[in-house]
Structure 1
Amino acid sequence: MEKMNQAYEKVKILVGMDVEDQPPQDETSFAFMDDFNGNCTLSTKQRLYGFAICLASGLTFTLLSMLVFFKPIKFGITFTFGNLMSLGSTAFLIGPKRQFSMMMDPVRIYATATYIASMIVALFCALYVHNKLLTLLAIILEFGALIWYSLSYIPFARSMVSKVMLTCFDTEF
């Protein structure tokens, strides 16, 4: 019975529900996020529905962007919007505060910053510059940043990919 209670507590933590015996955190660092989390209490079922809807719409936008692949401006907008929706879907599961703290973790802070900056650059090139070449380059940068950001959540994945790339593209004979 004790193991079942511990497993239930771990599931509650995973989906972002409050657990009674969690240690208190620094109140000054996340005051806005605490208020936001306090006002956005969702049941587990609502969280799963929100996650599924957001992820499905993000994947739909990403797949629909392939239909307009040869129009880089439209492609950049739909691809970036799909990425934003997919990224936002995990906030339903673990909560926006935990999502933000995981994104700002020292292990992935640079990957997060690069990914968000590449999305901003892609949208800027698509919406304001209207240059197809720049938009295409920004989309390539965004896709690479998405892969690097995603690899930051898998232990040792980035170091493994770095070693493989160095091995494949080593120019010394």
Structure 2
Amino acid sequence: MDALTRLHRSLAGGDDDEEQPEDSILGDTEGICSLSPVQRVYGFAACLVAGLALMILSLVVFIRPIKFAVMFTFGNILAVGSTAFLIGPSQQLRMMLDPVRVYATAIYGGFVFLALIFALWIHSKVLTLIAIICEICALFWYSLSYIPFARRMVSDLMSICCSGVKAARTQITQICDYC
């Protein structure tokens, strides 16, 4: 019987005669090691909501970049880690270290580390904000790796925009030279 059913029965006032004694070391190891699908969704939702709440609350203390960085970074870690409830921590780690996204994972992890170092140890507001901006960009790029062809589409879009800016600058320069 899973832990969620036992909890429901105990809250409803029912007796559970199948329960092992509390002093047994192995009494509830199955409930610790494996989660039911409902418990996984609850864990995912709780971590995601807590992470998003920390990220949103961090905007309240945006004036203090160090507090902002700590709250935002821990919120980011919770939000990214929430998917481990759905697919399991080992599968999450395998997917993060997949050749397609290993560089994005390393860059994201590096900027998370740098943001915390700049905020907690060096106490540099400018470096902390730069690290947070880079962390957001790295998380965006990392997230795109889960959508087929999304990175290529964004890269192509950025190159079109940048080449469009170059072409527009060239045309403006030619017009200005003509005048």
SS at match of 1:67: coil
Q: Root-mean-square deviation (CA), in Å?
A: 1.4
* Structure 2 unmatched runs, 5+: 1-31, 171-179
Structure showing greater radius of gyration is 2
Tell me whether 1:86 sits opposite 2:84 in the alignment.
Answer: no
Of 130, 134, 139 in structure 2, the residue corresponding to residue 137 of structure 1 is 130
Taking the aligned partners of 1:113 and 1:139, their CA distance within structure 2 comes to 15
Q: Find the counterpart in structure 1 of residue 65 from structure 2.
A: 72
Tell me whether 1:58 sits opposite 2:28 in the alignment.
Answer: no
**What per-residue deviation string (whole Å, max 9, x for no partner) do you get for residues 40-84 of structure 1?**
211112111111100000000010011111211111001100000
Give the superposition deviation at 1:145: 0.4
Tell me whether 1:128 sits opposite 2:102 in the alignment.
Answer: no
Of 99, 102, 108 in structure 2, the residue corresponding to residue 106 of structure 1 is 99
Moved over 3 A (4+): none
Taking the aligned partners of 1:73 and 1:136, their CA distance within structure 2 comes to 8
Q: Find the counterpart in structure 2 of residue 157 from structure 1.
A: 150
Q: Which structure's relative contact order is higher, taking Cα pairs within 8 Å and 6+ residues apart?
A: 1
Taking the aligned partners of 1:161 and 1:117, their CA distance within structure 2 comes to 22
Tell me whether 1:148 sits opposite 2:141 in the alignment.
Answer: yes
Taking the aligned partners of 1:169 and 1:72, their CA distance within structure 2 comes to 31
SS at match of 1:70: coil
Taking the aligned partners of 1:79 and 1:169, their CA distance within structure 2 comes to 30
Q: Find the counterpart in structure 2 of residue 48 from structure 1.
A: 41
TM-score normalized with structure 2 length: 0.73
**Where in structure 2 are the equivalents of 1:12-51 lying within 5 Å?**
40-51=33-44
Taking the aligned partners of 1:146 and 1:45, their CA distance within structure 2 comes to 27
| Number of aligned positions between the proteins | 136
Give the superposition deviation at 1:87: 1.0
Q: Find the counterpart in structure 1 of residue 19 from structure 2.
A: none
Question: Percent sequence identity over matched residues?
Answer: 58
- Counterpart amino acid of 1:97? S
TM-score normalized with structure 1 length: 0.76
Taking the aligned partners of 1:60 and 1:53, their CA distance within structure 2 comes to 10
* Structure 1 unmatched runs, 5+: 1-38
